[in-house]
Amino acid sequence: MKKIPLLFLALLLLGSVFMFFPKQTFAAPVTINVYNWGQYISDGTDGYIDVIAEFEKAYPDIRVNYMVYDSNETMYTKLQSGGNAFDVIVPSDYMIDKLIAEDALEPLDFSNIPNYRYLDDAYKNLAYDPENKYSVPYTWGYVGIIYNTKYVNEDDVGSWDLLWNRNYAGKILMFDNPRDSFAIAELLLGYSLNTDDPEELTAAAEKLKEQKNLVQSYVMDQIFDKLEREEAWIGAYYSGDYPLMLEENENLAFNVPEEGFNLFVDALCIPKGCQHKKEAELFINFLCEPEICAENLEYLDYATPFSAAKEFTDPEMLEDEILYPPAEVLAKGEAFHALSTEGTQLMNTLWLSVKTQENVLGKYLILTGCALVVCIGLYLFFHIRKKRLRRKRGTYYPS
Amino acid sequence: MKRRWLTAPYIIWMLLFTIVPLCIVIYFAFTDSVTGAFTFANIVSILDYASIFLRSIWLSVAATLLCLIIGYPVAYTIAQCKPRTQRILQMLIMLPMCLSFLLRTLAWVALLEDTGILNSLITSIGLKPLPLIRNSGAVILGMVYNYLPYMILPLYSSISKINPKLVEAAEDLGCSRRQSFTKVILPLSTPGIASGITMVFVPAVSTFYISQKLGSPGTIMVGDVIESQFKGAYNPNLGAAMSLILLILIFICIGLSNRVTKQHGSEEVTPL
Amino acid sequence: MRKASKVITVLVFIFLYFPIIILAVASFSSGTDIAVFKEFTFSRYAELFKDAALLRLVRNSAIIAIVSTIVATGLGTAAAVGIHRMGKKMRGLVMGMTNIPITNPDIVTGVSLALMFAFVGTILRSNAILGFWTLLIAHVTFNLPYVILNVMPRIAQMDPNLTDAAMDLGCTPAKAFFKVTLHEIMPGVIAGALMSFTMSLDDFVISYFVTGFEFVTLPVEIYNYTKKPIHPKVYALFTLLFLVILILMIVMNILQSRSESRREKMHIRAKAAGGEV
């Protein structure tokens, strides 16, 4: 009888193996690990192109293992903490700068990336990679405020101040990474986005602490869900993600604040320690193929640095002022550069203190003290009562 | 008949994969993140996070007590049922533990959000939406929901082991129902209480998912900070120092709860 | 008092199952929002079985749970038998070590293992150490204590003369172990294995810290999902798993109670026959 549960267990184990084995995929000779931002490649939803499937079709010997991160810092941490070999990553400008300085990127072999010739000259020799040795730009965009017109008064819109507006307390979303959040505070305070000055960084942190009570959560890609479902009304995010949200909720609007904004380029790179460099370069090349690039960006809604791809793009998209803002708007943008090591460290520490420090220690100490007093009181009370009871009993029943 | 060597692989495994990692945590906690030199700076800087430690402890103590108060009657009721019903009820308590706690917590988010199920019910009858989510209450609720089975099961197993004749005897000797409960059942179930407290408190105090989903920026917990040190801003040294302090705090708390329950002369408490 | 606790019990069951029901209902809705039920549809289930990536995650989870259960059960059972024969001092020491992974919060276990793997990785000059094997090691490590704690009481209950008797009757020690000892402690072994299996199937926190790029389990990916809008087919998967576990538990329950009632019947019959059991 005891064998029945055992048999059952064995069946369960076997069953679960066979049940969940999808059609046997024959191991391809080479697997490349692509590490990209979330929602940053067309994956075949809603009839858009499935870029990775197309690539695997074009290069049957290469399989793509695709994983996502939600901020440059997360990606950097994954690289730093070791344990994973990546073949393609998509850092932003300042992060590329930093990675090059730390000698963490492989120089690219452009003979494997012939499509590089399609790249616009405006995106060559940029400050983060002056010799064009390490990176191939993927998209560009900028940061703005997305808000819900149903709840937000138009008169309040126009400045980054909107994120500090008390009327919308609890309905505001903020970036969950130090660089983007500090940038907004720095813009409001009139500092450069690339300041290393400890005093300015501290002032920016103070500004962010002021805002903390109004913030619903610090988020990255969760912002999609929160804004679409109107759980939050205002959030700062990347321009190219706005059209995706607009598709789900038509009340959302985009604002380019008057103080200026961060203009960014995300580029494809190969980190040191990559195990299949050639295949990774083929993948990068594939993404730069004008037709693929155009179809990919149709889903992404980010702007492309490849003018050749614009031929294949829906002209309506090209006229979209949010995607391709006019030159006078773009002039207000400022790009990030890598901060000094001390600057980065200070920013990280300050960011942690923004997120964690609050003036409630006193409250908690008092509460804890009271609880301890009550506990000790109760303990003494019962202890004395017990003793007394024992003594009383002792008088009745002398032993 | 010497079978002691059978333990050898196990001991080697545990040394390699629990003792050595803990030593590495200690090593990281006392070294500088850049130079690798010995330092107390990480441990000292934890003082800045004292309020977070206190909050984590407060929230999880509240959740543990709630679990105990809610869980005890349930365990007691189950133990009073017929054996067959007992088995079914025990199974029903265990079932949610086998399902993804991430998704179940997410269901609570959907229930409690400002635009969630409960609030849309409330607004549909013309009332103002309630602030159900992103406060300490919601975090405690999430903890109670996730860890209640871990309280009920040990309570149930220790209550069901109590010989019913003892209760009968107490009542025969003139105890009222209440007295027989406080004088017989309660003291005899202390091992269950102690292991239930441990099994709820330890995961609750170190959680990061629940506070991320149900809490606000103002209810951040130790687990969140540790997680962010390893997954966001990379500072494993500070993260290791915090883990170490957390570990020490937990050992102190477990030690205290074992001590309190041991006073009743019951057996050594194991968390199962 | 009893009535009150009955009411509480009912309320607690509602409390425990309410969110599960919400998810199950959401799996039949055509919308993406859990909070709004649009139209009734089965299409989520169809999508689920077409999604090779999601099925691969389920397969990964199942593989890691099965392999770690087998390893942990083997190691743990052997260890439990050995511990039983140990002196008191040594036993206390080993049991103390066994308790460490249980009393450690998951996050500390995860973090400490992650740090150690990274450390070993730098020694080996490998930057791809995180993967199937690290995940397996982590899972076996947190499963082992549960196996031991389930098996130990069974060994303590066993009559030590049984193995001696078996060997007197011509068994080799190994044969005696497999034929007698193992047979006697089987319920404990099975309980431990089942516990390990469910623990590692649902483990998120520890896996989250030691998981690599190539081998991701379902809970870890669900955590990544929740940073972006979660796809309803995951609810469908949840509902299916719920049903599978429910059915498994019911079947186990029936089997158990049947074997019990049979034993009872035999008992009665034996008594009626005047014999002793």
Confidence of residue C231 (pLDDT cuts 50, 70, 90): confident
Q: How far apart are CA C83 and CA C79, in angstroms?
A: 6
The answer to whether residue C149 is domain-embedded is: yes
pTM of the model: 0.89
Residues C16 and C115 occupy one common structural domain = no
Tokens of B131: 């602030």
Structure tokens at B81: 């049922």
The pLDDT, as a whole number, for residue C45 is 92
Whether A357 has a pLDDT exceeding 80, the answer reads no
Mean pLDDT across the stretch B153-161? 92
Name subunits touching A (3+ CB pairs < 8 A): B, C
Q: Which range among B256-265, C23-32, C82-91 shows the weakest confidence by mean pLDDT?
A: B256-265
Ranges A71-80, C251-260, C262-271, most confident: A71-80
Q: What is the pLDDT of residue C277?
A: 39
Q: Which residues of C touch B4 (CB under 8 A)?
A: 82, 85-86
Q: Is the pLDDT of residue B129 over 70?
A: yes
- pLDDT value for B164: 86
Mean pLDDT of C20-34: 88
pLDDT score of A23: 41
**Distance (Å) of CA C89 to CA A242, B9, C85, C93, C103:** 66, 19, 12, 6, 21
Residue A53: its pLDDT value, please? 92
From chain B, the residues in CB contact with A178 under 8 A are 233
Whole-number Å distance between alpha carbons of A297 and A294: 5
Sequence ranges of the domains in chain A: 27-139+266-337, 141-263, 363-391
Q: How confident is the model at residue A398 (pLDDT cuts 50, 70, 90)?
A: very low
Q: Which residue has the higher pLDDT, A399 or A300?
A: A300
3-state secondary structure of A189: helix
Asked whether residue C273 is assigned to any structural domain, the reply reads: no
- Contact of B85 with chain C, judged by CB distance below 8 Å, is answered with no
The pLDDT value given to residue A15:
54
Based on the fold, state whether residues C70 and C114 are members of the same structural domain. Answer: yes
A15-58 confidence digits (pLDDT tens): 554 444 444 444 557 889 999 998 889 888 778 889 999 999 99
Has residue A9 got a pLDDT over 80? no
pLDDT score recorded for residue A264: 94
Buried-state track B73-111, b at ≥16 Cβ within 10 A, e below 16 = bbbbbbbbeeeeebbbbbebbbbbbbbbbbbbbbbbbbb
Is C243 part of a structural domain of the chain? Answer: no
**Is C267 a member of any domain?**
no
Confidence of residue A301 (pLDDT cuts 50, 70, 90): confident
Number of domains into which chain C is organized: 2
Find chains touching chain B: ≥3 CB pairs under 8 Å: A, C
Q: For residue B108, give the chain C residue with the closest CA.
A: C19
pLDDT band, residue B45 (cuts 50/70/90): confident
Q: What is the pLDDT of residue C159?
A: 82
Nearest to C159 by CA among C145, C180, C144: C180
Segment C153-177 mean pLDDT: 83
pLDDT tens-digit series, residues B163-172:
888 888 888 8
> pLDDT band for position B271 (50/70/90)?
very low
Q: Which residues of C touch A39 (CB under 8 A)?
A: 228
- What backbone phi and psi angles, to 5 degrees, belong to C68? -65, -35
Q: State the pLDDT at residue B262.
A: 64
Chain B contact for C10 (CB, 8 A cutoff): no
Quick one: average pLDDT of C174-190? 85
Whether residue C166 lies inside any domain: the answer is: yes
> How far is the C-alpha of B15 from the C-alpha of B24, rounded, in Å?
12
| pLDDT value at residue A137 | 94
Q: Rounded mean pLDDT of chain B?
A: 88
Among C118, C187, C228, the residue with its CB nearest the CB of A82 is: C118
In A, minimum Cα distance to C121 occurs at: A83
Does the distance separating the beta carbons of C219 and B100 come in below 8 Å?
yes
Query: Nearest-CA residue of chain B relative to C258?
Result: B84
Evaluate whether A27-139+266-337 and A141-263 have a shared fold: yes
For chain C, what percent of residues have pLDDT higher than 70? 97
Q: Comparing B95-104, C17-26, C152-161, C200-209, which segment has the lowest mean pLDDT?
A: C152-161
Q: Chain-wide mean pLDDT for chain A?
A: 87
Which domains, from first to last, does chain B contain?
12-262 (1.10.3720.10)
Q: Do B205 and C105 touch (CB under 8 A)?
A: yes
Is C268 within a domain? no
The pLDDT-based confidence of B3 (bands split at 50, 70, 90) is: low
Q: Is residue C204 part of a domain?
A: yes
3-state helix, strand, coil in chain C (%, to 5): 80, 0, 20
- Exposed, middle or buried by CB within 10 Å (0-12, 13-18, 19+), for A96? buried
C169 at interface of A, judged by CB pairs closer than 8 A: no
Give me the domain span that covers residue C33.
Answer: 1-41
Most confident of B7-11, B141-145, B231-235: B141-145
Work out the pLDDT band at C160, boundaries 50, 70, 90. Answer: confident
Q: What is the pLDDT of residues A193-249, one digit of tens each?
A: 999 999 999 999 999 999 998 999 999 888 998 999 899 999 999 998 999 899 889
C69: nearest Cα among C187, C183, C190: C190
Pair C18, C99 in one domain: no
CATH superfamily membership of A27-139+266-337: Periplasmic binding protein-like II (3.40.190.10)
Superfamily the domain A141-263 falls into: Periplasmic binding protein-like II (3.40.190.10)
CB of B207 closer than 8 Å to CB of B221: yes
Q: Is A34 helix (H, G, I), strand (E, B) or coil?
A: strand
Q: Are residues C93 and C155 in the same domain?
A: yes
pLDDT at A141: 93
For residues C25 and C155, membership in a common domain is answered with no
A5–C252 CB contact, under 8 Å: yes
Cβ contact B51–A230 (<8 Å): no
Query: Of all helices (H) and strands (E), which one includes residue C23?
Result: helix C2-26
| pLDDT tens-place string over residues A90-149 | 999 999 999 999 999 999 999 999 999 999 998 988 889 999 999 999 999 999 999 999
Indicate whether C19 and C118 sit together in one domain: no
CB contact under 8 Å between B230 and A77, yes or no, is: yes
Give the pLDDT confidence score for residue A6 in this predicted structure: 54
Max mean pLDDT range (A77-86, C84-93, C197-206): C197-206
* pLDDT > 70: percent of chain A: 91
For residues C191 and C150, the answer to whether their CB atoms sit within 8 Å is yes
Residue C95 domain-assigned? yes
At residue B267 the predicted structure's pLDDT band, cuts being 50, 70 and 90, is very low
Cβ contact A343:A204 at 8 Å: no
Mean pLDDT of chain C: 87
Same domain, C72 and C179: yes
Query: Residue A67: which pLDDT band, with cuts at 50, 70 and 90?
Result: confident
CATH number, domain of C199, equals 1.10.3720.10
Confidence of residue A1 (pLDDT cuts 50, 70, 90): very low
The per-residue pLDDT for A383 is: 82
The reported pLDDT for the residue numbered B183 is 84
The answer to whether residues C80 and C31 belong to one domain is no
My answer on whether C3 and C133 are in the same domain is: no
